[in-house]
Chain A
Amino acid sequence: MNCDDIREWALNSRPLTPSAEQHLLSCPACQATVQALTFSDVRPAGERIDGILNLVRTSLEPVQPLPSNRALASSLLTLFVAFSLVATILFGYHGFQVLNTFQRIVYYSVIMLYAIWFSVATVEQMIPGSKRRTNPQWLPVAALLSLALLAAALFPNFGLERFAGLGVPCLRLGSVCALLSGAFFWLIFRKGFFTSPLAAGITAGFLAGLAGVAVLALHCPILNALHVVVWHLGAMIAGGMAGAIASALPRRH
């Protein structure tokens, strides 16, 4: 019987144990702490509850619960792959042709891995109170850093010839693809309820940006680390920024 019993009570929602109650009799500090953390029963006015019930009843219609997180993430991932492939067919797959087998396996696998990760993180943002397995603050940073390091390792060419001239069209294509894929992702995304709209917007924006990066990885034949880091990953940042701006737009509740 000591203050640890009260500490344990304060850190949980369980009622006081008999030993903790015994301790309270002899410890004024613990008595005061328990009193501070015990709230009296205050209720809302009955008329207000009736008003709420009337509001709810007037628009009561059956709704279909959203599918499981896995199903929603799979839908986002399917859209991601379908969009990347269709865009690559439209714009050409010169990038795929110039990569060797090892580069293809590693580069596309890492992009796919992040697509899965961002899809899961996006779905977690859509469902209130869902278990968070990913940290939406660190995921974009981790993705950008690891993709930049991967580009440096796979394409060890750091020349700056016609850096902006070759890069700007890539950034433009990547950003357009990010915006278009973001519009498709929105079809799924809008079904959710966002308890953190900014985090949700950034995560979904980065997923859309990653679709832009995937299109460029299949399309662009320039195997230059700096080009990939600045102009390809720039599309991902553009997607994240667009997502952040979209999250600030007025929403209907």
Chain B
Amino acid sequence: MQSYQQSDSEAAAKLVNQLSPQIFQFYLAQVRDRPLAEDLLQDFWLRIHNARRTYRPGEPVLPWIYAIARRVRIDHYRRTKRWREHEMPTEDLPERAAYQHAPPATLPAMDELLKELPAAQQEVILLLKVSGLSLEEVARATGTSVGAVKQKAHRAYEKLRVAFGGNT
């Protein structure tokens, strides 16, 4: 990250190649649309690029990265919400367009279950289990306390267990 801040092209390439898969998964698990997840990934890297001076050498990288990734996702959600509120459907979409945006078959089947969780719990689960962040890192990335993160993860876990017929 420090080399990237010093305009090292190789370091930038390494960072993009290393982090893109997990950030892509983070988005894909939330939006369930591969082209959209890729768009968000691109937007994410532009923001990272513009905000790179806010990273301090010696600080943990992942909370910084995911705090920005999360912001990109929230901005996208708000933007689409505004569009949906102002858009009036004039004609039916062609079948092909609908097909192009269908979730890919590579997504795990259990993903549907996570969809039922509230957004905040889903996000915490994704950061813990997809991105492999620690509780402390998730707390930093989401701007909350470790206790709040633990509580959300615990509630999500209990809901999943109930859904699978386990005891709470």
Contact = CB atoms under 8 A, between A and B. Distances in A.
Are A and B a genuine interacting pair, yes or no?
yes
Interface residues of B, number: 76
Contact of A39 (B50, B53, B54, B108): B108
B144 interface: yes
B161 interface: yes
Interface stretch (B56-64, B81-89, B92-100): B56-64
B53 A65 contact: yes
Interface of A is mostly: loop
A172 to B, nearest CB: 35
Given A45-B38, A52-B16, A52-B42, A39 B49 contact: no
Contacts of A61: 7
A27 B166 contact: yes
B130 to A, nearest CB: 5
Interface of B is mostly: helix
Interface string A42-65: 111100110111011101111111
B31 interface: no
Interface residues of A, number: 55
Nearest to B51: A193
Given A36-B114, A48-B38, A55-B46, A10 B153 contact: yes
Interface of A: 3, 7, 10-13, 27-30, 32-33, 35-45, 48-49, 51-53, 55-57, 59-66, 68, 126-132, 191-196, 199, 253
